[in-house]
Amino acid sequence: MNILAHLHLSGGINELMLGNYMGDFVKGKQYLNYPDDIQNGILLHREIDTFTDEHIAHKASRDRFREKYGLYSGVVVDIIYDHFLANHWDKFNSINLEDFAQKAYNYIQINNNIIPIRLQQITPFIVENNWLVLYKSLNGIERVLTGMAKHTSLPLKVEFAMDILNKYYKEFNVEFIQIITDLHKMVEKSIYLTKFATK
């Protein structure tokens, strides 16, 4: 899953949210360099990614992008799923998306000094362009895909991605609902979330 989904699945817990945010940038046992609560967020991030990658609905979504994106198809799908999450936001959250985004940005920026250097370089771009809210529109997804291609190794195939998204919009929506429903169930049982409930 992508940024918005990882933050959303952190159960409203700031430390988990921060660890979840930096998960892709912490490799191997590097997570041990962080406080326990942030470690839990990083490990939850990995658990979410593994579950998502193995989900049959995510595979169906990925297959539509393989022609141009190859191994990066999953990255594109994760970004698109954030679009559907943003548009279904009120079904899953009591706080509105704009307020949630500002809360997340504020906490991440306050703790900017402890997140990985590469992510420190990307975070201002995410905040200034309000990516978490930007995901809601198709134009926003196009901008995010373009930005990702500039700042990461994601191929610049935006026109193809948007054509596929528009052509299979209903199918992607159905697949997203299947995954987010199953992810909510998985996260509720995750040891990384339940550790906070027992504090």
pLDDT in tens, the chain (199 residues): 889 999 999 988 999 999 999 999 999 999 999 999 999 999 999 999 999 999 999 999 999 999 999 999 999 999 999 999 999 999 999 999 999 999 999 999 999 999 999 899 889 989 999 999 999 999 999 999 998 888 788 999 999 999 999 999 999 999 999 999 999 999 988 887 766 654 5
User: How many CA atoms lie within 13 Å of 74's alpha carbon, on the beta-carbon side?
Assistant: 13
Contact 55, 35 (CB under 8 A): no
Q: Is the pTM of this model over 0.85?
A: yes
d(C-alpha 128, C-alpha 25), whole Å: 20
The one-letter code for the residue type at 178 is Q
Domains in the chain: boundaries: 3-197
Residue environment code for 11-20, b if the CB has 16+ CB neighbours within 10 A, otherwise e = bebbbbbbbb
Structure confidence at residue 150 (pLDDT): 84
Name the token pair of 3: 């940024």
Structure confidence at residue 151 (pLDDT): 78
Which CB contacts under 8 angstroms, 24+ apart, belong to 118-124? 118/25, 119/21, 119/22, 119/25, 122/151
Structure confidence at residue 58 (pLDDT): 97
User: How many CA atoms lie within 13 Å of 193's alpha carbon, on the beta-carbon side?
Assistant: 22
Structure confidence at residue 197 (pLDDT): 53
Structure confidence at residue 7 (pLDDT): 96
* Cβ-proximal residues to 175 (8 Å cutoff; 6+ apart), any chain: 57, 58, 60, 61
